[in-house]
Amino acid sequence: MGRLLLLVLLLLAPAWSQDLAAQEKRVQDLEAQAARARALEEEAAKRIQALNQELAQISQRLKNLLGEKAALEKEIARLEAERRRLKQETARLKEEVRQTEARIAKLEKDLEALRERLQALMVSLHRERAGRYLPLLRAESFTDLAVRARWVGYISRQDTALVKTLQATLKALREEKARLELLVQSLTAKEAELAETQRALEAKRRGLEAVLAELRREEAGKKALLRDALEERAQLQSRLAELQKRLLEERQRLKALQEEAERRRREEEARRAAQASVVVPPPPLPATVGRLAFPVPGGRIAVPYGKEGPFQVIAAPAPGSPVQAAADGYVAGVLYLPNLGYTVMLVHTEELATVYTNLQAPLVQEGDRVRQGQVIGYLGGGLLIQPNELEFRVALRTGDATRFVDPSAYY
């Protein structure tokens, strides 16, 4: 039975078909690698786009913060200038207060001297109250007497007026001093308020500088990531270009192999057609098998045995139709060729085997027992065979010879 299986598999898988399958596998592998490289390149492009957007946002934030910092520095400079002006004005007012205090001190001293003079005069007049006319009697003439009397009164009146003037001036100076002190207090308070505002603005500026430093570090990190992503993308693009070049070459080789396979298939069909023109009656089936079940329920024979090769083409009602075992037996082998799909070989006796080609992934595995009529798979697995067609073979061994025979004789 092993020789029968080996012969069937060799007939189903000639060397050129294996080369074609290997080439298709290489093309598929290259396509998969190219797809992975393309996906990675797209991911790198997305990362680059995201990094560029993040860098643009960081740049805008830096621009906004720098503008805010410039405005703060301008305001701080204005406050500093205003503080200097207030300090100068306060110093000037303090100097005026000092000068006013000096004038007040001098006036108080002069006033005190006048008070002492008037007090002495009053004391003198009081003492001489009884003899107030004695100075006048010392006059040598009446004219001298009149002059003396007038000047005594005049001096008394002038001293009194001067005292009043000094008192008024002293009052005005004290009021001016109070006004200046209030101005100094107001300017000092305003200067302190400006200093506090300036300190707050400087603290805000320091905070902005810290944020700017952090943003610049973040920007530097994003730029490093962007450089890495650009390098990775360039490498992926180079790799993708190389894969696409190789894929084009392998597809050209695959096309050449497919054309060669098609040519050989036609030659093989012509040879088999020539051989089939010599009609050899098929031998009878073993008695233990009986008749074969039609492998495709509801199907019909589309191409008779021998017309395209040593097999029968059965057309199913629809693509993907079920395929059933023609008789009881076991699964002797499962073979996959991309152009032919899955091929399942069932062994029924030491002399009889059936072969089913163009299946999708089968429902049975090698070594499984099957019953006649059991569904073993569904049509549509091959690339070069219609999805509703089954290539059905019957292999019989007579003595040491094994050959394919027309299945129609056994339905």
Among 35-49, 149-163, 227-241, the least confident range: 149-163
Give pTM, 2 decimals. Answer: 0.46
Contact 291, 410 (CB under 8 A): yes
Q: Which residue has the higher pLDDT, 369 or 254?
A: 369
pLDDT (0 to 100) of residue 293: 94
Q: Distance from first CA to last CA of the chain, Å, rounded?
A: 23
Give percent of the chain above pLDDT 90.
35
For 266-306, the pLDDT digits (tens) are: 776 676 666 555 445 667 777 677 889 999 999 999 999 98
Q: Is residue 376 within 8 Å of residue 356, measured between CB atoms?
A: yes
Q: pLDDT band at 1, cuts 50/70/90?
A: very low
CB atoms < 10 A from the CB of 261, how many? 19
- DSSP element (H, E) containing 355: strand 352-359
DSSP one-letter string for 125-180: HHHTSTTTTHHHHT-SSHHHHHHHHHHHHHHHHHHHHHHHHHHHHHHHHHHHHHHH
Helix (H) or strand (E) holding 15: helix 15-127
- State pLDDT tens for residues 302-334: 999 988 888 999 999 999 999 999 999 999 999
Which domains, from first to last, does the chain contain? 20-278 (1.10.287), 291-411 (2.70.70.10)
Lowest-pLDDT range, 74-83, 250-259, 390-399? 250-259
**72-104: per-residue pLDDT in tens?**
889 889 988 988 998 898 898 889 888 988 888
Of 255, 243, 249, nearest to 20 (Cα)? Answer: 255
Is the pLDDT confidence value at 19 over 80? Answer: no
187-215 average pLDDT score: 90
pLDDT, tens digit, for every residue of 139-185?
Answer: 455 555 555 555 556 656 776 777 778 778 878 888 888 888 898 89
